[in-house]
C-alpha cells in the first residue's frame, strides 16, 4: 500500500489554539478541493480539534515529549515519518518543529521534501519567555535559512527574523493571519465583522 502524501503538517497537538485552528482550516480546505493528500505529524496526538479533521486525513503520533532532553529525539522520529510517507512539502509550525524538520531532512538519503516554516509569532519576544533561549536563537539562525520558505504573519515578525536572525528577506513570505470565511459574519450595512 502506497502511503506517500503530498503535504505533511508538523506541530505538537490539536488542542485549542490559533495555530491548531490554522491547521484545521488548511487541512479542510485542501480536502475540500480534493487536490492534495495531507498528513499531520503530531508530537502528541490529542486535542479538541482532532474531531475537526476529516477522517480521510492521516494523523501520525510521533510520541515525543517536548521537554529536554527527550525533545532532541524529534528530528530522528520525524525523519522516520518522512521516510515512510514521503511528502513533497512539509509545513512546520513554529521554531521547534521548523528546526526539527530541517534537521530531519538532513538525515534523509532520498525523497527530500521542500520545507516551509510558519512563524506565527514574534520570535524574540516569545523566546524571552521560554527556556533554552540561546540554543533556540542559534538553531533559528542556522536552520531557518535552509528552509525553502518562511511564512510570516506580520511586518513586525518579518523584520524580527531579518534583523535578529539574519533570515534572507527573499525567503520570507508575508501571509497575514486570516479568519476562515466559515467562522465569520459580515454585516454590509454596519461594515463590521463578528467572529463566532
Q: Are 186 and 161 in contact (CB under 8 A)?
A: no
Using pLDDT thresholds of 50, 70 and 90, give the confidence band for residue 156.
very high
Residue 196 has pLDDT above 50, yes or no: no
Residue 156: other Cβ atoms inside 10 A:
13
Residue 191 has pLDDT above 80, yes or no: no
pLDDT of residue 134: 81
> pLDDT (tens digit, 9 = 90+) per residue, 6-44?
999 999 999 999 999 999 999 999 988 886 799 999 999
Range from 121-130, 131-140, 150-159 that averages highest in pLDDT: 150-159
* pTM for the whole structure: 0.87
Tell me the CB-side half-sphere exposure of residue 12, using CA atoms within 13 A.
12
Report the DSSP pairing between strands 89-93 and 7-11. parallel
Residue 175 has pLDDT above 80, yes or no: yes
Long-range CB contact pairs, 126-133, < 8 A, 24+: 127/95, 131/68, 132/68
Q: Widest CA span of the chain, in angstroms? A: 58
pLDDT of residue 190: 47
pLDDT of residue 63: 97
Using pLDDT thresholds of 50, 70 and 90, give the confidence band for residue 126.
confident
> pLDDT (tens digit, 9 = 90+) per residue, 78-97?
999 999 999 999 999 999 99
pLDDT of residue 179: 57
pLDDT of residue 132: 66
pLDDT of residue 24: 96
Residue 66: other Cβ atoms inside 10 A:
13
Mean pLDDT of 176-184: 59
Rounded CA-CA distance 95/159 in Å is 16
Amino acid at each position: 500500500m502506497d502511503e506517500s502524501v503530498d503535504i505533511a503538517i508538523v506541530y505538537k497537538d490539536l488542542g485549542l489554539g490559533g495555530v491548531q485552528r490554522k491547521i484545521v482550516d488548511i487541512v479542510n480546505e485542501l480536502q475540500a478541493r480534493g487536490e492534495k493528500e495531507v498528513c499531520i505529524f503530531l508530537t502528541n496526538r490529542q486535542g479538541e480539534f482532532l474531531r475537526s479533521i476529516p477522517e480521510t486525513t492521516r494523523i501520525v503520533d510521533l510520541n515525543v515529549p517536548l521537554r529536554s532532553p527527550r525533545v532532541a529525539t524529534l528530528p530522528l522520529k520525524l525523519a522516520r515519518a518522512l521516510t515512510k510517507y514521503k511528502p513533497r512539502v512539509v509545513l512546520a509550525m513554529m521554531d521547534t518543529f521548523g528546526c526539527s524538520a530541517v534537521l530531519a531532512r538532513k538525515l534523509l538519503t532520498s525523497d527530500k521534501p521542500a520545507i516551509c516554516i510558519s512563524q506565527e509569532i514574534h520570535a524574540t519576544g516569545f523566546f524571552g519567555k521560554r527556556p533554552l533561549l540561546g540554543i533556540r536563537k542559534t538553531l533559528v539562525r542556522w536552520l531557518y535559512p535552509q528552509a525553502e520558505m518562511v511564512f510570516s504573519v506580520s511586518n513586525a515578525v518579518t523584520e524580527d527574523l531579518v534583523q535578529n536572525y539574519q533570515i534572507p528577506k527573499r525567503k520570507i513570505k508575508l501571509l497575514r493571519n486570516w479568519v476562515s470565511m466559515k467562522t465569520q459574519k459580515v454585516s454590509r450595512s454596519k461594515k463590521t465583522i463578528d467572529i463566532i
